[in-house]
Structures are given as structure tokens and as C-alpha cells.
């Protein structure tokens, strides 16, 4: 986090990221994005555990010392890389989510920080409901679903649309990041979907599908594409972290040891993608025993100086589920 922007660490796409690096060529219109999540091979000979391997590799590539680390998901489907052939070798990736304070980067990986919402513009509701949701996402998805021939399948997608993007009655569920991304991919609305379709067509000798400029433009407004299925991995991570906020005090790994309550709130808001009610947030976090005052005050602010707080580790053993919840209704709009 910097300046209320949640950031992710990326590396320049390296050669060894491709399972089958040879095949390219025709499909250059949506050529692979150079931006990728940090990743590397796991060497069972060298590393006792997956997590140790991760720590080591990230340290070497970025100079970062990881604090909180949690296994996210294991991705092993063939469609991850459109170049993989049936019967060929398979790239299986075990994804991890780590939270670190933003620090200068070093190491071998050409690592960079990126605004998380550059990849998911529709997930940031802090300035209100993003215009793109009603301008492009909903109508386009609705049109796409309407042209599905099979009635059962159409019904299933209609339900998925309601669950993922909400309805008149039901609110937007901020945790369903992956569901939203997957619908957009399946509907061919985002860059990776267009790119993968082209690659697959080129590899199988079929004519490469031409994409009309409107579709292209929408795809561009739907965020920066990433290598392979990395944006899908990232969607999984955002959904997971949002879910976790509610019942585990994970945010504190993104903050300095002492912080003002507003700083804490800004981090929660940035990850959740929503604005929260300040006074109630304070009440939740203070009387909930998540933080304790240090007696010191912050000097840097404009108005009345805020007190500095620290995380109360004891809360872990006091309350079964201690987090800073983001129920749909607690949002200020």
C-alpha cells in the first residue's frame, strides 16, 4: 500500500514463463502481456517445503523478506496456457498470497509495483459505483448471455451473472472477484480471452478471429492483461484477501508497527474497494480490542493530531474471529 493504492508485485515476463516457448507468430495482435506475477520453479532437492522454496526465490528475485504468507490455490488446468497441447507436459502452479510493506526492490527479477485496480477497474468502489459496470460490463454480459442457444445453459449463466454482479434486490458482493473475472473471460470481454482465442486458432490452423474495434476498446477499458492466467490468479488473491479481512486481522502486516486509525481504515478500504463509516470503524476496532493506544500522537496531519495505535496480538487468543468486517451494508456511499 502507498497513498491509498493497493499494489501488487510484478516481474517482467521472462522466457522460462512459457511451457512451450517456441510457438508464437501469427497471433501478435494480442501478444502476451509482459507483466506477470512473480513466479519460479520449485526444486524439491533444494527446498524442504513449498513455502521455504517460495521465500527463497522471492528473496533472490526481489530482495523482499516475506512476512505473512498463505497458500492460495493450485492451478493445473490445461487451458491456463493456450499453447499447451493435449498430451504434452503440464504447468502446475501453486499460488501463494503474501502481504508485505512496500519497500524498495532489488534482485534479479526486474520487479515492479503496480496498482492492483489497474487489473480490475470494476472492483474499486471507493469513488462510487464504477461507471464501467453499467456502461459496458452489465449490458455486454447480458447481450452475450441472451445469444446462448441452449436454454438451460443460458439460465445457468443468468444465475451466475446475478450472483457475481448483483441484482436490483441483491447488493454487489465484494468477495466474488473471481466469479466476476471468470464471467468476463468466458464472455470474451477481456484481453486475455481475445488473446487466447487468437493463439488457439493460430496453433490449430484455423483462421485467426478478427476482433472488432469496439470489443477491443472495451477490453482495454477492462484493465491491463497479464501473462498466461496470471490475472485469474490475482483475482483469486483479491477475493481471498477480502474474505479474510472480516475474520482475521491480516491488514496489520501492511502497516507500520504503530499507525493512526485513519491509516488503518484506508488500508482496509483500499483492499475492500469501499468506503467505511469512520466513527463506526473506530468503534469496531477499538472496543473490539484489535488495537490499543500507544499514548503517542501523529505529527504529520493537517487537523487535530491522531493518536497512534498498535495491533493487539492478544486478540488472537481472545476472540475466535477477529477482523475488520466489510458487510455489504456497512458501506458508505
Binding residues (CB under 8 A) for a second copy: these are 42, 44-45, 48-51, 71, 73-74, 76-79, 86-90, 92, 94, 159, 162-163, 167, 169-176, 313, 316-321, 327-328
* Binding-site partner at residue 279 among DNA, a second copy, none, CB < 5 to 8 Å by type: DNA
Name the grid cell of 158: 443468468
Residues β-bridged to residue 8: 114
294 binds DNA (CB under 7 A): no
> 256-271: string of b/e by CB count within 10 Å (b at 16+)?
eebbbbebbbbbbbbb
* Binding-site partner at residue 4 among DNA, a second copy, none, CB < 5 to 8 Å by type: none
CA distance readout (Å), 314 to 241, 251, 295, 310: 22, 16, 19, 12
Mark residue 200 as left, alpha or beta (left: phi above 0; alpha: psi -120 to 50; beta: remaining): alpha
332 binds DNA (CB under 7 A): yes
CB of 170 to DNA, least distance (A): 14
Q: Per-residue x/- marks for DNA, 241-280, CB under 7 A?
A: -------------------xxx--------------xxxx
Cβ 261 vs Cβ 309: under 8 Å: yes
Distance, in Å, from the CA atom of 58 to the CA atom of 44, rounded to the nearest integer, reads 16
* Binding-site partner at residue 302 among a second copy, DNA, none, CB < 5 to 8 Å by type: DNA
* Sign, Cα dihedral of 25, 29, 34, 38: negative
Sole binder of DNA in the list 150, 168, 210, 302 (CB under 7 A): 302
Residue nearer to a second copy on the CB measure, 35 or 193? 193
Residue nearer to a second copy on the CB measure, 300 or 317? 317
Q: Which residues bind DNA (CB under 7 A)?
A: 260-262, 277-280, 282-284, 286, 297-298, 301-307, 325, 327, 329-332
Amino acid at each position: 500500500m502507498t497513498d491509498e493504492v493497493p499494489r501488487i508485485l510484478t516481474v517482467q515476463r521472462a522466457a522460462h514463463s512459457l511451457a512451450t516457448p517456441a510457438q508464437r507468430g501469427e497471433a501478435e495482435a494480442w501478444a502476451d502481456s509482459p507483466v506477470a506475477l512473480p513466479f519460479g520453479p520449485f526444486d524439491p532437492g533444494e527446498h524442504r517445503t513449498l513455502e521455504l522454496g517460495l521465500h527463497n526465490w522471492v528473496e533472490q528475485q526481489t530482495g523482499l523478506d516475506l512476512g505473512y504468507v498463505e497458500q492460495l490455490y493450485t492451478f493445473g488446468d490445461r487451458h491456463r496456457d493456450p499453447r499447451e497441447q493435449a498430451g504434452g507436459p503440464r504447468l502446475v502452479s501453486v499460488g501463494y498470497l503474501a502481504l508485505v510493506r512496500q519497500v524498495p526492490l532489488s534482485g534479479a527479477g526486474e520487479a515492479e509495483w503496480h496498482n492492483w485496480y489497474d487489473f480490475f477497474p470494476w472492483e474499486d468502489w471507493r469513488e462510487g459505483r464504477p461507471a464501467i459496470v453499467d456502461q459496458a460490463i452489465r449490458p455486454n454480459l447480458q447481450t452475450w448471455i441472451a445469444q446462448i442457444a441452449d436454454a438451460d445453459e443460458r439460465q445457468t449463466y443468468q444465475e451466475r451473472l446475478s450472483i457475481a454482479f448483483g441484482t436490483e434486490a441483491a447488493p454487489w458482493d465484494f468477495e466474488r472477484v473471481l466469479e466476476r473475472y471468470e464471467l468476463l473471460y468466458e464472455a470474451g470481454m477481456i484481453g486475455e480471452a481475445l488473446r487466447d482465442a487468437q493463439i488457439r486458432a493460430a496453433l490449430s490452423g484455423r483462421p485467426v478471429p478478427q476482433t472488432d474495434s469496439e470489443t477491443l476498446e472495451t477490453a482495454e477499458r477492462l484493465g491491463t492483461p497479464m501473462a498466461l492466467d496470471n490475472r485469474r490468479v490475482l483475482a483469486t488473491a483479491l477475493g481471498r484477501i477480502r474474505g479474510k479481512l472480516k475474520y482475521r486481522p491480516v491488514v496489520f502486516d501492511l502497516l507500520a508497527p504503530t499507525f493512526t486509525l485513519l491509516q488503518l481504515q484506508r488500508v482496509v478500504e483500499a483492499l475492500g474497494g469501499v468506503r467505511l463509516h469512520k466513527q463506526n470503524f473506530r468503534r469496531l476496532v477499538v472496543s473490539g480490542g484489535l488495537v490499543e493506544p500507544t499514548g503517542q500522537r501523529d505529527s504529520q496531519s493537517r487537523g487535530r493530531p491522531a493518536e497512534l495505535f498498535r495491533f493487539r496480538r492478544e486478540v488472537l487468543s481472545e476472540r475466535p474471529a477477529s477482523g475488520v468486517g466489510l458487510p455489504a451494508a456497512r458501506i458508505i456511499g
